[in-house]
């Protein structure tokens, strides 16, 4: 899969008069998993909406391979960049396979409604997200984790080199979170660039190659989690003190002894 680069230049996003993202310049490393973290209201989801053209910038640009995404035709963008929003709503009664087939929409036309490639890609997408056995089940009968994997399968069927996920694991229990994260890692191993908004810093440390830390619309840290996550960063982001220890099995950072900033630990 060819790698594509997504970057922002001087990006300013506003809701009404409130500036949410303020003149942000960043580059998302191709072929890696980037996690956007930060406290509630820091503009994570708005940034993701801006990156996927859902939210038009007040100023500045989002560049996909050097081209302003506002200039790209909608279907072409949908063939390069897939988005899974936080509150994805599907029509009632749709089955998993039917949902995944909608992912082929940007590749189809009025007179090209179902090709050999469509068939093959849908089958692969179902398999990649491990939902082949659920293909015939209506979405409303699935568990949260299964449903989320079905949605991700739809974005896989879009065959885009870039995948943007907005809090893909919120509202999922731990087991289902891991299902989704492992799927994300498999997608990245296939050469996709994945960008996800996460509110759990420990998951971001474990599953992302690259971390973007946002606070009040400003980028305050960017880089590999092992290098940028410090107790100081955690305090600035969330107003908490903690001890960072490496996971004995994987080496990724864990937050221990978490407490509100300025208080002594219980230990």
Partner 1 sequence: MWREVSAESQARQRPGTERCERGAGDIVAPPGHWRLAWQAAGGSLPYSLLIDRRAFVAALILLLALLTASLAYLAMGSSPLPPQAVPAALVGRGDMMAVFLVQELRLPRLAAACLTGAAFGVAGCLMQTLARNRLATPGIIGIDNGATAFAVASVIGLGVSLAPPAMALAGATTAAALTFGLAAGGGVRGYRFIVAGIGVGAVFGAITQLLLAKVHIDTANAAYPWTVGSLNARPAGAVMLLAVGLSLGLGAALWLTRALSLMRFSDAVASGLGLRVARRRWQVLAVSVLLTGLAVAVAGPVGLIGLIGPEIARSLSSPRGVPVVASALAGALVMVLADLAGRILLSPIEIPVGIVTAVVGGPWLLWILLRPASRNLA
Contact footprint for partner 1 (CB under 8 A) = 33, 49, 52-54, 74-79, 82-85, 87-94, 97-98, 101-103, 105-106, 108, 110-116, 119-120, 124, 127-128, 136, 155, 158, 182, 185-186, 189-190, 205-207, 209, 224-226, 249-252
Q: Closer to partner 1 by CB, 131 or 241: give it.
A: 131
Tokens 């690259």 sit on residue: 210
Among 177, 204, 166, 147, which residue's Cα sits nearest to residue 51?
166
Which alpha helices (DSSP H) does 56-115 contain, by range? 74-80, 96-102
Are 90 and 154 contacting, i.e. CB atoms less than 8 angstroms apart? no
Smallest distance from the beta carbon of 107 to partner 1, in angstroms?
9
The token pair at 80 is 């390069």
Radius of gyration of the chain from its Cα atoms, rounded to whole angstroms:
19
Smallest distance from the beta carbon of 80 to partner 1, in angstroms?
10
| Buried/exposed 30-50: b ≥16 CB within 10 Å, e otherwise | bbbbbbbbbbeebbbbbbbbb
Q: Closer to partner 1 by CB, 50 or 241: give it.
A: 50
Smallest distance from the beta carbon of 259 to partner 1, in angstroms?
26
Question: DSSP character for 112?
Answer: B
Among 175, 170, 227, 159, which residue's Cα sits nearest to residue 198?
170
Task: Compute the residue count for the chain.
Answer: 267
Question: DSSP character for 17?
Answer: T
Q: Closer to partner 1 by CB, 251 or 265: give it.
A: 251
Smallest distance from the beta carbon of 264 to partner 1, in angstroms?
31
How far apart CA 174 and CA 209 sit, in angstroms, is: 21
Q: Closer to partner 1 by CB, 78 or 221: give it.
A: 78
Q: Closer to partner 1 by CB, 81 or 241: give it.
A: 81
Are 231 and 243 contacting, i.e. CB atoms less than 8 angstroms apart? yes
Smallest distance from the beta carbon of 136 to partner 1, in angstroms?
7
Q: Closer to partner 1 by CB, 203 or 241: give it.
A: 203
Smallest distance from the beta carbon of 260 to partner 1, in angstroms?
28
């Amino acid at each position: 899969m060819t790698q594509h680069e997504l970057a922002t230049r001087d990006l300013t996003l506003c809701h009404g008069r409130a500036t949410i993202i303020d003149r942000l310049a960043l580059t998302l490393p191709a072929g890696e998993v980037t996690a956007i973290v930060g406290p509630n209201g820091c503009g994570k989801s708005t940034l993701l909406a801006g990156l996927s053209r859902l939210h038009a910038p007040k100023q500045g640009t989002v560049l996909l391979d050097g081209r302003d995404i506002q200039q790209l035709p909608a279907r072409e963008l949908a063939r390069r960049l897939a988005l899974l929003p936080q509150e994805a709503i599907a029509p009632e009664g749709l089955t998993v396979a039917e949902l995944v087939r909608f992912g082929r929409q940007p590749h189809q036309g009025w007179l090209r409604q179902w090709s050999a490639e469509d068939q093959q890609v849908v089958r692969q997408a179902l398999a990649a997200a491990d939902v082949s056995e659920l293909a015939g089940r209506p979405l409303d009968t699935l568990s949260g984790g299964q449903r989320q994997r079905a949605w991700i399968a739809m974005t896989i069927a879009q065959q885009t080199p870039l995948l943007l996920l907005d809090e893909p694991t919120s509202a999922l229990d731990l087991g289902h979170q891991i299902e989704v994260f492992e799927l994300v890692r498999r997608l990245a191993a296939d050469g996709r660039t994945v960008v996800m908004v996460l509110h759990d810093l420990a998951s971001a440390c474990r599953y992302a190659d690259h971390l973007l830390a946002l606070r009040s619309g400003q980028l305050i840290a960017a880089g590999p989690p092992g290098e940028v996550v410090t107790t100081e960063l955690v305090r600035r982001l969330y107003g908490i003190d903690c001890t960072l220890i490496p996971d004995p099995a994987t080496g990724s950072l864990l937050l221990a002894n978490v407490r509100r900033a300025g208080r002594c630990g219980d230990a």
